[in-house]
Amino acid sequence: MRTGVTRALEGPLSSFKAFSAGQKVVAVVGTLALLLAAFMVFRWASAPSYAPLYTNLSSEDAAAVVEQLDADGVPYEIGGGGGTISVPRKDVYSTRIALSGEGLPSESSEGGYALLDGQDISTSQFKEQTDFKRAMEGELAATVEAIDGVDTAVVHLALPPKQVFAEEQEPATASILVDTHAGTELGADQVQGVVHLVASSIDGLDPSKVTVTDSAGRVLTDGEGANGSASGQYRQVQEYQDQLNGKVQSMLDRVFGPGNSTVQVTAVLDFDRKVTESTTYGRQQRVPTLAESKQKETYSGGAGAGQASGVVGPDAQLETNGGGADGSYNNSATVRENGVDKVVEQAEAAPGSVENLHAAVVVDTNAEVAVDPAEIEDLVAAAIGLDTERGDSIQTSVVPFDNSVEEANLAALAAAKEADAAAARNTWIRNGVLGGVVLLLLGLVWRRSRKNSSAREEATSYVVEQLRQEQADRAALAAQQRLDAEAALQLSSAPVPSSAETEMREELAALVERQPDEVAALLRGWLVERS
């Protein structure tokens, strides 16, 4: 295996050795850059994704949690000024369960209704009421923090003790401090949602007694009642004015061109709720009788001697009537209900009706279109529905506009675009030059490698040919030596005189001294053939 690896590396090493000094530097730097990029990509791909384990921890809880994570060998990251601890996303729930088993975080579980768990029969009334208020504040703060955009919320409640008489009861109040995420602001609807959420959670708390403040100290509530009528009316007026402004501005831009005119419409809306009831009676020639009742009373009798008769006067004295001394009495009454043409109307005016409108139009004197103020006023009045009898007004002016700021902004924008274009062009040129240099270097390296490869192939062919020739010469020499050795053995085996044998041995000894390697190879060949 080691021989295979060595042979696999011989080609690249020989090619690298054939490079010039500059080519070697480029090759080394390029290889290191590729290795660094591969390492960074591998590190990014293998890095775990972190998710918050706990947020808004106190310093004591954060220290205890970090110590336990170190003991458990769980990787973590600290952020949010030390109050947020994050762990790998896949370990969030298991780590949270393990820390809960250790009683961590200790202070994060305090607050809310958990404060009421430690009360017993010996708890005083003051502590019971205080714990209840703190529990409500904690629960409400946690609920407000669940609103999108709210990072932290603090709720303070003022709950006066119950009084026996309702007219002596002081109202409950609440103040809420909210801290939103960076770049996020609570809308009017969200603020009203917070107000109603807190007011609905406390018995007897009026929404107008709830104050919401942000972390910058700005009061977000209007304090105009439960329905936030002031903010709602303001938004309605703004939306109506923006609608009229957009309609008129679009028309003027089509006539004079963009930037040559401006309009401002002010609307006064009546938000009073009015109920009107009117009754009208009509005249009829013949009035029909709907109902009629008659009553008649008759009394007859004489007065006794010495007995006065008559009616009781204002001084409780009996007044005698001159006639009717006989005591008779007659009375009749008639009640008649006639039909009358009666109409009852009840009208209720919806809030938000237009009380009056006021419009101001300004046109640039440098506009290419001829300006007629009367025509402009007629167009604008028709577009927004001005009514002079209602008290509406419109004013048109033709004055030169100051376009210096706009021209400076356009010049700055053009300069910025030109700078961006020049930077992009320089970047393309630089990248093109670098790419050309790299391609040129690669071409030179490839050409040099081709030349070196051709030279190596020629040298290899020459060496192979020399080796083949040398092997052929050695084979021929070995064959000749074998023949000489066989001939010498044949001569040595024939009966010769002692002098001839001695001479043969001397020749063999001389041959061994002259060519020891060839003789040794010949003998080894014979031994192999015999075996």
**Domains (range + CATH), the chain:** 50-102 (3.30.70), 125-224 (3.30.300.30), 239-267+355-404 (3.30.300.30)
Task: Provide the pLDDT for residue 108.
Answer: 47
pTM metric for this prediction: 0.40
Query: How big is the chain by its Cα radius of gyration, in Å?
Result: 58
Q: Is the pLDDT of residue 311 over 80?
A: no
Element containing residue 23 per DSSP (H, E): helix 21-46
Give CA–CA dist 140/113, Å, rounded: 11
Neighbours of 6 (CB within 10 A): 10
Q: Cα–Cα distance between 238 and 220 in angstroms, integer?
A: 18
| φ/ψ of residue 24, rounded to 5 | -65, -40
Report, as an integer, the average pLDDT of 323-334. 71
Higher pLDDT, 163 or 459: 163
pLDDT of residue 182: 79
- b vs e for 279-295, b when ≥16 Cβ sit within 10 Å of the residue's Cβ? eeeeeeeeeeeeeeeee
Does the pLDDT of residue 352 top 90, yes or no? no
Instruction: Tell me the one-letter amino acid at 87.
Output: V
Confidence of residue 323 (pLDDT cuts 50, 70, 90): very low
The answer to whether 213 and 219 are in contact (CB under 8 A) is yes
Residues of the chain above pLDDT 90, percent = 7
Q: What DSSP string describes 333-393? A: EEEEEE--EEEEEEEEEPTTEEEEEEEEEEEETT-SS---HHHHHHHHHHHHT--GGGT-E
Using pLDDT thresholds of 50, 70 and 90, give the confidence band for residue 493.
Answer: low
Q: Which of 172, 164, 168 is nearest to 201 (CA)?
A: 172
Per-residue model confidence (pLDDT) at position 173: 92
Model pLDDT, residue 7:
63
